[in-house]
Chain A
Amino acid sequence: MRRWLLISVPYLWLLVFFLIPFFIVFKISLSDIATAIPPYTPVFDFSMGIGEFISKLDFENYRFIFNDSLYVNSYFSALKIAGISTVLTLLVAYPIAYGMARAPKEWQPTLVMLVILPFWTSFLIRVYAWIGILKKEGLLNLFLMNLGVISEPLTIMNTPLAVYIGIIYSYLPFMILPLYASLEKINPALLEAAADLGSPPWKSFWQVTFPLSLPGVLAGCFLVFIPATGEFVIPDLLGGSDTLMIGKTLWGEFFGNRDWPVASAVAVVLLLVLVIPIVMFQSNQEKEREAAR
């Protein structure tokens, strides 16, 4: 009985904070826009029967999304930006996490603390700070011009490059922490054994360290890729108007066009775009694990 209670807690959480809100959004996505409070027509009321309800059901808003290239391009563009950012974040984070895991034990809590430290400042303010660094007369351009590296200021603000920088910076801790956790667990005796058997360090890294850190790599990549795909703040503040991302398109649909039904449909499709491949990946992993046994 006690165990059931314990197990039910996370499921209850999932029900209240994920499934119910999701169904509300899904319900709105089936309705039509209206000039009223709230700004959409109800999909069903209790007076009509099940048959009538089903006959009235249409997926008009979904058809609309897939018939207009804007939405499809926004999804692809967001996936592309998130994908590239994830790879770059991994490349930046891995050496940092590796260094942390190899640092003297007594330093490590301090180093972990330093990685978490930026969270003490509001995310929004940190993104704003990047405007001051990247803009035409910003810190970066002043610095490079004073050094004589460039003679004309670089245009980074309001370009896709600024969005990549913003995403890599903002999500770096989410990549470092799982990487560090898995690297830190690796038994140093394994590397010593590899060296004793004549393996050069780079070979030991690729054949011992990296495979053992894969769970951390995967966790980090998911933690960066998923939120980056739906990111709104970074492309809005740092990107240009032509930096398409689905989060921005969704915002425009909801606030600018006050079309809640289409905005909800965009959100439902975004969820499917992200959830389906992840679930497939997970079940594949599960199968491999079964097969390995």
Chain B
Amino acid sequence: MFDFAGMRRSFAGAAAAAALLAGAPALAKEVRVYNWSDYIDEEVLKDFEKETGIKVVYDVFDSNELLETKLLAGGSGYDVVVPTGPFLARQISANVFQKLDKSKLPNLKNTWPLINERTALYDPGNDYSINYMWGTTGIGYNEAKIKERMADAPVDSWDLIFKPEIVSKFKDCGIFLLDAADDILPVALLYLGLDPNSKDPGELQKAGALLESIRPNIQKFHSSEFINALANGDICIAVGFSGDILQARDRADEAKNGVTVGYKIPKEGAQMWFDQMAIPTDAKNVEEAHAFLNYMLDPKVIAKASNYVNYANGNLASQEFIKEEVKSDTSIFPDDATLKRLFVKEPYDAKTQRVVTRIWTKVVTGQ
């Protein structure tokens, strides 16, 4: 009953299609980019395609852990990825990335020495990565709900989180903390007057104990749910990344739901983080990846991205192209005095990492 002739015809068709597909990458140049979600002005990608003729295949992720798992499994298939500082450092030591060919990146001249100096902590000499965006980890809050419960609430101080008599006032309203030891433990250390980069197990235990003491007031440890929860007015306070909280602010504004979200960098200091663009060792389109990085180092291009996502970038020359409302927003571009109070977190060595992980699990699960 089989129609052999027909089958042969369709086989021939499939073979021709396969040949065409296999030939395609050789004809069209492409670069595969893996970046955070909601983190670019799509027009930037279109402009790049128009200008260079290189097609951009753009995928997004929402956590460093997910990116790291793909990179460590090997053969991720991406040419440009965007991990955050401490993750980048660890991935460099796992030989995940290749050194940048700086001769192909003439636009490196536009970078911001101050930012380069700080990112060198993760990537000595900035040999493997360029800065895409940077920001802070601070306090996001629902203005009306905070006022309702405490008129003079210290939203610009870590007292809001770590002083039991203050934090307990907001327990019923919902407090979220990032589910990441790397972001929360250093702040607890800072609040105790210790070095946020302390690797001393005793000091780390003290920070853990501080967190456990306020634990009953925390509704949830989660690294992304707070964006929606803040924007919808479901919670009062979230300790999170500046850009995420500003995104919640914008979403609430767009929804016109009467929710006003604020963001403050606490006066005691806060962690500064950096998202870095790097090229995996097994990238297939190395040439195109460099072209993409060089394009992103163009002051006008990266200014366009900053204007869209409300983050500061590491490109000094771009600042004249950044919109006034973004540039003058001190929660995005902190003033010099605030900048001095920001600290950078060093990556933990494997042994400290295990101690930190265990302390963190105890804080989060109570186990």
Contact = CB atoms under 8 A, between A and B. Distances in A.
Interface string A148-161: 00000000001000
B361 A36 contact: no
A256 B63 CA distance: 10
Given A255-B63, A258-B65, A37 B220 contact: no
A72 to B, nearest CB: 10
Interface stretch (A117-125, A207-215, A220-228, A237-245): A237-245
Contacts of B364: 241-242
Contacts of A136: 174, 234
A70 B73 contact: no
Q: In this complex, which of B68, B72, B73, B93 has the most chain A Cβ atoms within 10 angstroms of its Cβ?
A: B72
B37 interface: no
Interface string B52-74: 00000000000101101101111
Contact of B96 (A37, A254, A256, A258): A37
Interface residues of B, number: 33
B59 to A, nearest CB: 18
| Contact residues of A: prevailing secondary structure | loop
Contacts of A35: 90, 93-94, 350
Given A73-B367, A241-B179, A244-B365, A158 B72 contact: no
Interface in B331-367: 350, 353, 357, 361, 364-367
Nearest to B367: A70
A285 interface: no
Contact of A240 (B63, B72, B73, B219): B219
Interface in A92-108: none
A113 B319 CA distance: 59
28 contacts: A33-B350, A35-B350, A36-B72, A36-B94, A37-B72, A37-B73, A37-B74, A37-B94, A38-B73, A69-B367, A70-B365, A70-B367, A74-B367, A136-B174, A158-B219, A158-B220, A237-B225, A240-B220, A242-B364, A242-B365, A242-B366, A244-B365, A255-B63, A255-B65, A256-B179, A257-B353, A258-B68, A258-B69
Interface of B: 63, 65-66, 68-69, 71-74, 90, 93-96, 174, 179, 218-222, 225, 232-234, 350, 353, 357, 361, 364-367
The 6 closest A-B pairs by CB, nearest first: A255-B65, A241-B221, A37-B74, A39-B72, A35-B94, A70-B367
